[in-house]
Homo-oligomer: A and B are copies of this chain.
Amino acid sequence: MNYAGMHPRDVRRLFREGRLNTQTSGMCLGYAQANMAVLPKKYAYDFLLFAQRNPKSCPILEVGDTGSPYLKTIAQDCNVASDLPKYRIYEHGELVGEFDNVEAYWRDDLVAFLIGCSFSFESELLESGVSVRHIEEGRNVPMYLTDIPCEPAGVFSGNMVVSMRPLPPEQIVKAVNITAAMPRVHGTPVHIGHPAYIGIADINSPDFGEAVTIRENETPVFWACGVTPQSVVMNSKPDFCITHAPGHMLVTDIKNADLKF
């Protein structure tokens, strides 16, 4: 199957019908994918406030109505309890299991948060000739836990996780401008140049993902990463939480290009 060329509704149908449960990287080219965190209502205000206070780490694309697994804006006819390829369920911060469908676990008090993903700005960087090293090298993006504190909100607090892409000098301005136009998928870099300045001891030892080659004359450029809210939520050990399984995202109907103002 040519998943790259399919419309999002068609891959979501394959997921819903249990005919496919693979990672979504490379599917439906041009369309935005989203991270998901589903939390009981009692945590929802603190989480939404955390997102409001930390928009670069936690750019919200849509929040479902309380109790509803259906979306209204970023995906049509979409049930977030069935239309992602794979889910994880956590209780008190502990992984309970992975599931291809979580409709049996849905509850009237659950709220779905869909969060922007760097796939969208990487697609725009590549279109503009900006190099994305981990894609060139077939690796997962390198991510680092920094010493930059997020603004806490209620029960949620923690430091920012960043992703890094090394850039040659002539591509830095272009990368800043392209991502500046996309605040709903992390926006501009949070740091350019000096890993130690943001608490990263060894650029070759990322905390998550894989190290990539940094060539002579290249500068490491750091963006806030969607792993931040996941990490912050897990730290607070909510009694119940559903997320997408890593790499198994919601494929939305929103074109990456439409995430620009």
Contacts and interface: CB of A to CB of B under 8 A. Distances in A.
Q: Most B CB atoms within 10 A — which of A48, A72, A188?
A: A48
How many identical subunits does the complex contain?
A: 2
Contact of A45 (B45, B72, B261): B45
Interface residues of A, number: 20
A200 interface: no
A180 B60 contact: no
A261 B183 CA distance: 9
Given A48-B52, A63-B52, A73 B151 contact: yes
Interface in A210-261: 261
Contacts of A154: 66
Identify the 7 closest CB pairs spanning chains A and B, nearest first. A45-B45, A180-B261, A48-B48, A52-B60, A188-B261, A49-B63, A52-B63
Interface of A: 41, 44-45, 48-49, 51-53, 60, 63, 66, 72-73, 151, 154, 180, 183, 187-188, 261
